[in-house]
């Protein structure tokens, strides 16, 4: 294929752009050029915690429907590739020590069932028929969620959790996989069918008569095309400006820590665990006095937000645990390289030690750890954008936030339906940029709502 003309040019070879190329090829559109100024999958898409879930809040069932479709596609890919990206189905285990949360868990499970997450199973007695998830594989597993409120059942299956844990909600169509392996698998399949990956920076998008006609890269090379997909990750807003389009998108910095659980505190077969209670970190008197003097870290003496979470990472003899805690995010311009608070690893470990007290053993001397991260590129209501832009022939696949690995197949499948002029799924309007033209939708954004971010 000549590089001077293409049916579709995609800017960005992160998981969004790669998935877009893959799903265009699946619809017979193979004259596709992927342009990236960096190596494929290297900016945000290799910083993810690589987890997936169909557990998403409303309003409406669009997020659940899109995510179910995305997970269907991930499962298809896992089947055809002999699970080269090691997809598992261990689930997300939400946990609380607050008795008043018990019935909230029961209600959340019932509400999730109405959104399409799958059935709610409540286990209130020691003999409850709760089935734990297998460590590997994804086939033949239940959907929906299990709520366990019997303390002996909790202890039997999750003895490493704090003794005062009173309820668990185990969401089942959830787990994790290798995002790099997934991305490389899709990229290779797309390239086999003719997709070209070009190194370069998209600097201009030409239009004539209000329609896309070509894309110019740094250095002046131009690719003629009638269709352009903006999948530029944290730079999606800048790239949209090349078309004169202003996107309601912002970035937040997010980090994760990988630490060595050499004492084996968390069993290697454990699911993802999310503590849904706020946490007060444990400090000695001396540490308290020191923190009280610190302008940057005094807040660590206060109650910290709910949501600290973690999971084992890697197979075989891997001792690695991943930990994430979103306690201090704010909108910012994306700048690289990112810098993280040197105390982040310790803060996350201390947070995780609340639900998993065995981790306290590491607090006097931190284990080996590694912190990295990137930007969540988000819309205000944390719903991605997939579909046409207001310039004929221009499209977006962006705003993938903290869920781009799990959603990119669903989002790219939707985008490819637009480009191939196929019938659209019923959830399409929820991810179209023109939703913001609806005053009722804009007004709904003023209401405080759970945006599903963990
Ligand atoms: C700490 C952390 C944890 C996360 N955990 C999860 C998780 O558990 N599950 C999950 O599903 N998701 C998770 N995510 C989110 C996920 O990683 C992202 O949503 C996803 O990687 C975004 O992919 P992308 O393709 O949109 O962007 P990127 O991967 O950033 O790719 C965008 C590409 O566009 C290129 N580009 C930009 N501008 C130009 C230009 N002008 N010319 C040429 N190329 C350009 C860039 O070089 C880049 O390669 C996490 C993210 C972070 C930071």
**pLDDT tens-digit map of 282-307:** 999 999 999 999 999 999 999 999 99
Q: What is the mean pLDDT of the chain?
A: 97
180 lines ligand 1 (CB under 6 A): no
Point out the ligand 1 atom lying closest to the alpha carbon of residue 217. Answer: 42
Q: What is the pLDDT of residues 430-445, one digit of tens each?
A: 999 999 999 999 999 9
- Max CA separation in the chain (angstroms): 70
Structure token pair of residue 207? 């239009």
Q: Which residue, judged by its Cα, is nearest atom 21 of ligand 1?
A: 45
Which residues are 204's β-sheet partners?
Answer: 216
355 lines ligand 1 (CB under 6 A): no
- Asked if pLDDT for residue 280 goes beyond 80, the answer is yes
352 lines ligand 1 (CB under 6 A): no
373 lines ligand 1 (CB under 6 A): yes
256 lines ligand 1 (CB under 6 A): yes
Q: What is the pLDDT of residues 329-373, one digit of tens each?
A: 899 999 999 999 999 999 999 999 999 999 999 999 999 999 999
410 lines ligand 1 (CB under 6 A): no
Residue 453's pLDDT is 85
- Asked if pLDDT for residue 111 goes beyond 70, the answer is yes
Confidence of residue 448 (pLDDT cuts 50, 70, 90): confident
254 lines ligand 1 (CB under 6 A): yes
Q: How far apart are the first and last CA of the chain?
A: 43
Residue 1's pLDDT is 43
Structure token pair of residue 280? 């007060």
Residue 238's pLDDT is 98
- Cα of 398 vs centre of ligand 1, distance in Å, is 9
- Cα of 41 vs centre of ligand 1, distance in Å, is 7
pTM confidence score: 0.97
Phi, psi of 12 (to 5 degrees): 115, 120
- Cα of 122 vs centre of ligand 1, distance in Å, is 37
| Mutation to probe ligand 1, out of 374, 379, 384, 454 (largest number of atoms < 8 A from CB) | 374
Point out the ligand 1 atom lying closest to the alpha carbon of residue 254. Answer: 1
Confidence of residue 128 (pLDDT cuts 50, 70, 90): confident
């Amino acid at each position: 294929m000549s590089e001077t003309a293409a049916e579709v040019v995609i800017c960005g070879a992160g998981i969004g752009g790669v998935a877009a190329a893959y799903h265009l090829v699946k619809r017979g559109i193979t004259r596709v050029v992927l342009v990236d100024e960096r190596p494929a999958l290297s900016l945000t898409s290799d910083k993810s915690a690589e987890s997936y879930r169909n557990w998403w809040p409303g309003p409406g069932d669009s997020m659940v429907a899109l995510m179910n479709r995305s997970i269907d596609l991930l499962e298809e890919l896992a089947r055809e590739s002999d699970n080269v990206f090691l997809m598992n189905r261990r689930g997300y285990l939400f946990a609380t020590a607050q008795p008043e949360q018990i019935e909230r868990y029961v209600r959340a499970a019932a509400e999730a069932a109405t959104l399409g997450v799958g059935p709610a199973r409540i286990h209130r007695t020691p003999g409850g028929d709760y089935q734990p998830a297998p460590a590997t594989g994804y086939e033949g597993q239940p959907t929906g969620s299990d709520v366990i409120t019997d303390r002996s059942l909790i202890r039997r299956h999750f003895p490493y959790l704090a003794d005062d844990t009173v309820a668990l909600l185990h969401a089942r169509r959830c787990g994790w996989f290798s995002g790099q392996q997934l991305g490389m698998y899709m990229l290779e399949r797309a390239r086999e069918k003719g997709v070209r990956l070009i190194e370069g920076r998209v600097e201009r998008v030409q239009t004539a008569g209000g329609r896309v006609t070509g894309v110019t890269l740094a250095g002046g090379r131009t690719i003629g095309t009638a269709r352009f997909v903006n999948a530029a990750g944290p730079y999606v807003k800048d790239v949209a400006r090349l078309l004169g389009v202003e996107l309601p998108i912002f970035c937040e910095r997010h980090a994760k820590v990988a630490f060595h659980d050499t004492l084996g505190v968390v069993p290697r077969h454990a699911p993802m665990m999310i503590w849904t209670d706020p946490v007060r970190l444990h400090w000695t008197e001396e540490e308290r006095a020191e923190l009280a003097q610190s302008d940057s870290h005094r807040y660590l003496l206060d109650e910290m937000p709910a949501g600290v979470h973690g999971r084992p990472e890697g197979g075989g003899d891997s001792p690695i645990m991943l930990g994430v805690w979103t306690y201090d995010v704010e909108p910012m311009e994306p700048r690289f390289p990112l810098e993280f608070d040197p105390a982040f690893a310790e803060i996350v470990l201390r947070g995780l030690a609340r639900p998993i007290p065995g981790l306290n053993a590491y607090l006097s001397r931190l284990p080996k750890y590694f912190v990295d991260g990137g930007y969540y590129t988000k819309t205000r209501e944390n719903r991605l954008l997939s579909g046409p832009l207001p310039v004929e022939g221009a499209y977006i696949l962006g705003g993938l936030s903290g869920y781009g690995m799990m959603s990119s197949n669903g989002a790219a499948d939707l985008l490819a339906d637009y480009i191939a002029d196929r019938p659209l799924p019923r959830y399409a309007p929820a991810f179209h940029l023109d939703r913001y033209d609806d005053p009722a939708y804009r007004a709904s954004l003023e209401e405080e709502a759970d945006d599903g971010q963990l």
